[in-house]
């Protein structure tokens, strides 16, 4: 077991997943102390009008490839929430299930977060809008621009939320950034 004082200096790799059947965002973030860096991010897709079982199999294989490439220490995933469109919620749930299965088979621990918890951790406000969260993702990871599509930025936000909640000083950095007059004005634009 690594001494707690030394643990802050050992990089940890967090894979964030924003589940979906048509598009599943992923973001790989390395955390060393309170420092975060994006290693890889993107969106996994499946073809519309393809039988459901084929789409799920394709998504499963793609998640497995990301896991093999990233070699994460943990996976952070958004909890399933029900929307008005039950058909969409079921499809998201099925895609989420294959992602959970891939992580389970790879023996990678999974942590789940509600959308409001992700917003709170990244933007310092549980009801932050999508643009505020995306701007904070860009700022916290030192990216040149907000990752696109939204699923990718959301996955990075989920990874950041896990890093923030895993006992680092990042929460204080997020609070300072969100309270700074310059950054609070930037986030409201």
Question: Does residue 110 contact residue 74 with C-beta atoms inside 8 Å?
Answer: yes
Helix (H, G, I), strand (E, B) or coil at 121: helix
- From 145, 151, 154, 172, the catalytic residue: 151
- From 3, 54, 78, 79, the catalytic residue: 78
> Catalytic residue at 78?
yes
Beta strands across the sheet bearing 23-32: 35-45, 23-32, 12-18, 74-78, 110-113
> Catalytic residue at 145?
no
Distances (CA, A) of 103 to 41, 59, 64: 17, 13, 8
- From 3, 18, 129, 172, the catalytic residue: 18
> Catalytic residue at 53?
no
Please give the positions annotated as active site. 18, 78, 151
């Amino acid at each position: 077991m690594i001494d707690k004082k030394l643990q802050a200096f050992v990089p940890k790799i967090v894979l964030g997943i924003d589940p979906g059947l048509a598009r599943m965002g992923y973001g790989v973030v390395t955390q060393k102390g309170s420092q975060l860096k994006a290693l890889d991010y993107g969106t996994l897709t499946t073809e519309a009008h393809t039988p459901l079982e084929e789409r799920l199999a394709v998504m499963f294989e793609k998640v497995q490839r990301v896991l093999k490439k990233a070699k994460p220490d943990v996976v952070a995933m958004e909890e399933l929430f029900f929307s008005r469109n039950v058909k969409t919620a079921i499809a998201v749930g099925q895609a989420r299930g294959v992602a959970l299965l891939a992580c389970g088979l790879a023996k990678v621990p999974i942590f789940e977060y509600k959308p409001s918890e992700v917003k709170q951790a990244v933007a310092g406000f549980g009801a932050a809008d999508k643009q505020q969260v995306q701007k904070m993702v860009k700022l916290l990871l030192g990216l040149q621009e907000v990752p696109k599509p939204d699923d990718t930025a959301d996955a990075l936000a989920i990874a950041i939320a896990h890093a923030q909640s895993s006992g680092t000083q990042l929460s204080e950095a997020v609070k300072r950034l969100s309270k700074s007059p310059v950054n609070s004005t930037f986030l409201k634009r």
